[in-house]
Amino acid sequence: MLGFSQLVRRWGGQAAAILASLVTLTPIYVMAVNSLKSKAQASSMGIELPSELHPENFLTVIDKGKLIGSFFNSVLYAAGSTILGTLLAAMAAFVLSRHRSPINRFLYFFLIMGIALPINFFTLTTMMQVTHLINTRQGMVVLYSAMQIPFAVFLIYGFIEAIPRELDEAAIIDGCTPLQLFFRVIFPLLTPVLVTTGILSFLNTWNDFLFPLYYLDNSDNWPMTLAVYNFYGTFGQSGNLESGWNLVSADIVLTILPVIVIYLLGQRFILSGLTTGAIKG
């Protein structure tokens, strides 16, 4: 028999989980149901199901919101920065973990300070201008890669600590160069934490709004987050004859759908990678 305090903790924890789920899922549900309503029915943004389905709202949004180009821009920024940033972070974490010199310890703590320190947009803008990366796709990839490296190094560093050094010694005895040691021996063993880091980096980049707003003036380079903002400004105003919360909702649903799919597919890796890195680090 469970004691009263144990029952309170169990049911209290379940109630908290249910409440957190409702807070998270309610906005998604509201957007989803209103994206399938007519303009008149969606004007109140109610939670009732649509009386008649209007899937053509999504086609209208794709056409008028120019989401196809924005979608590929988002994929480029998220995938490109994830691959580049995760690879560089893995290489840096391996060197910093295996060579515990004072300078490497300093560099490690200097890197992970980037997790908590605020971004100085004035300095960052100056750097983007000096390097001619502002308002370019490659500039956004480099910027997002740099932003995700501190947290990626922190996760991967703790995971590498659990890999026996004897593997390094055996590989070197067999004639491996440092690059061969990393890519042929160590890198495959990092798969769980690399997948975790990659998914988190991809989601953060996909959802980001500030960097494109500050550093992209050309609408051809806009990701989906900025396209949604522009779409709302154009079609979400009451004075616009084509305005309607059904279109705005459909636009938002199309933007968050890839994030939801990727998270559902990778949640197992996210949880295992974070837990393993935290325990072993």
Q: CA–CA separation, 149 vs 199, rounded Å?
A: 13
Q: Which class is domain 56-280?
A: mainly alpha
Structure tokens at 274: 């974070």
Q: Which comes out higher in pLDDT, residue 148 or 229? A: 148
Identify the band that residue 248 occupies on the pLDDT scale cut at 50, 70 and 90: confident
Computed over every residue of the chain, the mean pLDDT equals 85
- Packing angle, helices 137-160 and 191-207, rounded to 10: 150
- Asked if 147 contacts 201 with a C-beta cutoff of 8 angstroms, the reply is no
Q: CA–CA separation, 175 vs 164, rounded Å?
A: 18
Identify the band that residue 279 occupies on the pLDDT scale cut at 50, 70 and 90: very low
Using one digit for the tens of pLDDT, what is the confidence trace for 161-173?
A: 888 888 888 988 8
In the prediction, which pLDDT does 270 show? Answer: 65
Give backbone dihedrals phi and psi of 242, rounded to 5 degrees, phi first. Answer: -95, 5
Q: CA–CA separation, 36 vs 55, rounded Å?
A: 6
Q: CA–CA separation, 83 vs 111, rounded Å?
A: 19
Tell which phi-psi region holds residue 163, choosing left (phi > 0), alpha (psi between -120 and 50) or beta. beta
Query: What does the pLDDT average to over 262-272?
Result: 72
In the prediction, which pLDDT does 275 show? Answer: 54
pLDDT at 280 over 90: no
Using one digit for the tens of pLDDT, what is the confidence trace for 71-110?
A: 999 999 999 999 999 999 999 999 999 888 899 999 999 9
Using one digit for the tens of pLDDT, what is the confidence trace for 4-19?
A: 667 667 777 788 888 8
Identify the band that residue 281 occupies on the pLDDT scale cut at 50, 70 and 90: very low
CA atoms within 13 A on the CB side of 249: 27
Domain extents for the chain? 56-280
- Asked if 223 contacts 258 with a C-beta cutoff of 8 angstroms, the reply is no
The pTM score is: 0.83
H helix intervals, 174-223: 178-180, 187-189, 191-207, 210-215
